[in-house]
Each structure stands twice: as structure tokens, then as C-alpha cells.
Amino acid sequence: MTAELGELVQERGVLEEKRVRMDERIVLLARAVASIEELMGVDSTKAHKQADAAREYILGPRVADKIRFVLSRWPGRPLTARNIMTLLAELGYKFEDDPRPMATIHSVCHRMVNAKQPVIESAVKDGQKAWRWIGAK
């Protein structure tokens, strides 16, 4: 039973990593299609809508997935909660409904570190708590 659970947890970690890479690729491809169609003079309204939909999917309500996505973009590089919040903002994510976004980021990262198969680890950057992407083990 324990070995089976370990295998399932490991598979979940691998799939989460793949999802992060796929989400990133979807956004890049949607942007590329919209840009190419615009250069070709094609009515790119549909392509832009697809790019926006892909971006909206990436920036949907699952904040933990968004944080995981940001951390995975800079593997091995420690990021503070402020760094993560800034990078999420650059991607268009807004913490409009969250009165304490820094606390949310800290809480989500803490849970990820304490997961049975962590994909991030704690670090220190400029004397502040930070996290870095290590991927699935």
C-alpha cells in the first residue's frame, strides 16, 4: 500500500510539472498565432481571442498553480513572495479578491514545501524567506 501511494504521489508530481510546461507552451503558441496572423493581414480577432482564452486559463483561479508556474520558469533561482507577486502581476494575474496576497503566497509556498513530494524548497534571498523550483523527485 505504501509503495502504491508513493508511486501515485510521484506520478502526480511528474504530471504537475508537465502541466506547467504545457500551460506555458499554450500561451506562447496562442500569442505566436495571433502575431503571425496579424503580420499576414488576416483578421486576427479569433486568434487574439484564443490567445486571451489561453492566457485566462493560465491565470485562472488556482493561485497555487500560478505560483508553481512562476517558480518553474526560474528553476533553481530563489524567489521571495514579493518576486512571485511581481512576476504574477507581469503575467496579468491580479489579487483583487485577496486582501493579503503576500500571506497567500507565503501560505501556498509553505504547503508546497511540506507536501509529500515537494516541487519547491525553502531558501533565503537577501535575508528574506524565498522558494526555488526543484521539480518532482
Number of independent structural domains in the chain:
1
User: What is the dihedral sign for C-alpha 44, 46, 49, 54?
Assistant: negative
Rg (CA), the chain: 17
The domain in which residue 115 lies consists of 2-133
Type of residue at 50: Q
Query: Which is nearest to 91 in space by CA: 37, 7, 33, 20?
Result: 20
Residues β-bridged to residue 133:
120
pLDDT in tens, 83-104: 999 998 888 787 777 788 898 8
* pTM, entire model: 0.56
Say what the pLDDT of residue 63 is.
Answer: 82
How many other C-beta atoms can be found within 10 angstroms of the C-beta atom of residue 5? Answer: 10
E strand map for the chain = 79-80, 120-125, 128-133
